[in-house]
Structure 1
């Protein structure tokens, strides 16, 4: 398959070039904002910031990231039942752009900041899950090899955007020019939209229509429920504000608790209901819950990069690489750089090891790696007590963390589809992203430990949690493998 004029994109349908560019610019806007959001919120009003404590800023960034992943579930549903994937991606990108523009308005009131974050969360819920769906639909049934290769190129686009964004946005936002940085994120999303519309013909009708459009009756019912939910939330926040006890910090706690409830209710619904599940499906789901918890612990630490580790970069490191000065935000580029370098290495490694290494063992290794990265952070924090330390400490931290991510993130998507009961096949990928949501939300709240722990102790406590969880997973790996019906073939080499 190729575009009508015979053009291909590295041997793939030309539509992949359109989606590649759109996703690259969307990720540029997302990672660009993320690279300066926490430091902007913690900066004093004299420095054009919101004046929040670092603890509260960390909680906000954690909840923001958590909601981004949580809204992928309703975003996928809207595409399937109302808009179709193609229009969902466009309107999602448009709303994201409006969100960045809102944050770029140079006024002192925080209203436009909170409005901007809300718009970005909403828009990402529409765009992020559905653009991946469109990549898969570019290929005919049975063309699995080219589809996998296409997703690898698509993943490269994600990391290119993630790599360049902190460098560009961090440089523009230096000197308290936060709104210029937010404006750059808006421009990035605008470029993505232009590319998407301009290359629309190359998509050849992919995602044009919803998979199962709502009937008129269902649409009225959905509209009523949606408006009722919005009204309920608005009234609840209004009543809370009237009591004089509503604060940003307390709101993050409430949202975190609600996010924690979601997977508990969902897994209880699956396991306690009938749903015609077989006994084997129930056993596999019980095994999956342990992997879900392990993933949540991993992301709890890993996604502290744009908050706790960003503050460490700004406050405690000598911001120079190879003698060149850098911004604190630039340290957020280390992670995607290492991902691009090591993705092919780990892909070849898992192919070589085959079934000799089980999924629980890969998850356990990831937990140990992310735990060890925070042992390194504890050492760096201890040295920072006597002055700024080299930024190479953070380079080492991100390198170790990437070894963990590449052992867990791609494997998690695969095992989720494998262990999902037949009745829940279409929903379980969304459940996998909830693990990230839970981890981000809880990780944001861990900043409160700073009230009773020194920085080195804080890092060691989280490191111990991850390493102990990893060790426990290693111990029960054989049992989980049996529960998952994941067979070991000793002949594999």
Structure 2
């Protein structure tokens, strides 16, 4: 989007009306609130649904396999953002793509709400994966459209938007988790579907008045004469994948383990190809190429962070269920409730961080230094998980406060890295690839979880101390290195702070 188009979008959006921010932030705040309610509600009980015995209402999968599937599912959810970014950049614009994504997510949760086999689970996953790929990167990109590039409210706005995400994420495990674990998993999944429906209603009712032209622009439209060729190639590719997948399943060659390994490999190849394609594109100028190079160490840092943070939904979730005392202060805890800790801390701390960045103004740490702080806190969140087994042995149940402390530390890192990373992505993105570069940001999460699908296989009660210690230590070392080279990265960002 050129500066003239950007100015036109800014003028079309009411610039006040939501805590001193553009009114469109209200629409995106509550759309993401309900979308995240549906997603995190489903995720809070999904791992238990997969490995609980059939007599307990689950599918009876092996726990290690369930953890790997959970990681691959998360990876594919974020990897599909490539599709959503391409559709927004070339065909529909971000605003319409968000709406269609929400519809697919809702249908995915509806499928899960009915009793079924593992096949029904995988079908519902496919709907949610594609739908989230359409919605997630593009709604964040629309947030960026609300602000001019030099608006000092920008990081603060992303922090407030991030708080909306986590309000939904906080309530979902308490409501969906309690109903799913106490009454019926499928009833819990049905409530998640209702959440996405409410998000779609908010978006439809308020977007015209609040968003103006934000998200309507198609930055790199596909020429009409090229559409037949492109759609034909895509259709042919889908047919080939379906045929090969069907043959693999029928012959028994395409097992769950081999599919997980394939996605793990793609988690590395796809972002590398993405960087190369944008860097070599004639639509990317010299300053934009420099910014892409600066983005690479930030990408790697974010991968390391998410590799730890996302284990809250598999390794730490199973830890909560199998290794933690679930009676505390006379209260019977549900293991799914621990999934509310991360968003709960963010709800309280996001306004504090937003205030700090605005208060510091030009004196705030640079983006690379904020990332290094994120890695430091993430590493510490795993280091503290060494102590329960070290002090009392892996056979005894751990005090739940250890998990509380771990989630608290990783949230401090998340608030240093995640909203700042989204904001930096919108500023560092080449103009011709604005939505697709936001998809690249979400690939940090996809790649992390793709790698996690292999890493989580190493966790057992016997390897607990080594597992948490090595991963936490690697994160801290990378954080120190990033801090030391941050001035070099900052220069490559060509004026973007």
1:66 is aligned to 75
Identify the residue that residue 250 of structure 2 maps to in structure 1.
242
CA contact (8 A) 2:85 2:435 kept: no
Give yes or no for the alignment of 1:126 onto 2:134: yes
Whether 1:82 and 2:101 are equivalent positions in the alignment is: no
Partner residue of 1:99? 108
Aligned twin of 1:113: 121
1:252 to 239, 260, 264: 260
Following the alignment from structure 2 to structure 1, what is the Cα–Cα distance between the partners of residues 20 and 483?
Answer: 41
The reply to whether residue 262 of structure 1 matches residue 274 of structure 2 is no
Match of 1:409 in 2: 418
Higher mean C-alpha displacement, 332-341 vs 479-488: 479-488
Using the TM superposition, give the Cα deviation of residue 2 of structure 1 relative to its aligned residue in structure 2, in angstroms.
Answer: 12
Displacement of 1:62 in angstroms is: 1.3
How far apart are the structure 2 equivalents of 1:300 and 1:186? Answer: 28
Secondary structure at the aligned position of 1:106 is classed as coil
1:180 aligns with 2:187: yes
Task: Supply the RMSD in Å over aligned alpha carbons.
Answer: 3.4
| Partner deviation per Cα, 1:153-209 (whole Å, 9 max, x = no partner) | 433321110110010011101146111111110111122223333445534754685
Give the alignment of 1:334-373 within 5 angstroms: 334-350=341-357, 351-352=359-360, 354-355=362-363, 357-373=365-381
Residue in structure 2 matched with residue 297 of structure 1 by the alignment: 304
Q: 1:282, 1:195 → 2: CA distance?
A: 38
> Is 1:331 the counterpart of 2:338 in the alignment?
yes
Confirm whether residue 446 of structure 1 aligns to residue 455 of structure 2.
yes
SS in 2 for 1:389: coil
State how far apart, in whole Å, the 2-side matches of 1:361 and 1:8 are. Answer: 32
Q: Distance in 2 between matches of 1:22 and 1:275?
A: 33
Q: Where does residue 319 of structure 1 map in the other structure?
A: 326
Task: Tell me the distance in 2 between the aligned counterparts of 1:79 and 1:235.
Answer: 28
Equivalent of residue 445 in structure 2, options 432, 436, 456? 436
CA deviation after TM superposition for structure 1 residue 268, in Å: 3.6
Deviation at 1:118, TM superposition (A): 0.6
Measured against aligned partners, the alpha-carbon deviations of 1:417-467 in whole angstroms (never above 9, x if no partner) come to 555567756643332221121112112321121379612221112112212
- 1:143-222 → structure 2 map (5 Å cutoff): 144=151, 151-175=158-182, 177-199=184-206, 201-203=208-210, 206=213, 211=218, 214-222=222-230
Matched, 1:469 2:483: no
1:12 CA displacement: 5.7
- 1:392 equivalent in structure 2: 401
Measure, in 2, the Cα distance between the counterparts of 1:359 and 1:15: 25
SS in 1 for 2:471: helix
**Correspondence 1:226-237 to 2 at 5 A:** 226-237=234-245
Classify 1:2/1:12 alpha carbon distance in 2 versus 1 (closer, same or farther; 3 Å).
farther
User: Any gaps of 5 or more consecutive residues in structure 1?
Assistant: 489-493
The answer (yes or no) to whether the contact 2:141–2:438 under 8 Å persists in 1 is: no
Distance 2:115 2:479 in 1: 46
Q: Which of 40, 49, 53 is matched with 2:62 structurally?
A: 53
Gaps of 5+ in 2: 1-9
Is residue 59–residue 118 contact of structure 2 (8 Å, CA) maintained in 1?
yes
- The structural deviation recorded for 1:61 is 1.5
Rounded to whole Å, the distance in 2 between the matches of 1:234 and 1:216 is: 27
Question: Cα 1:377–1:228, aligned 2, differ >3 Å: closer, same or farther?
Answer: same
TM-score (normalised: structure 1): 0.87
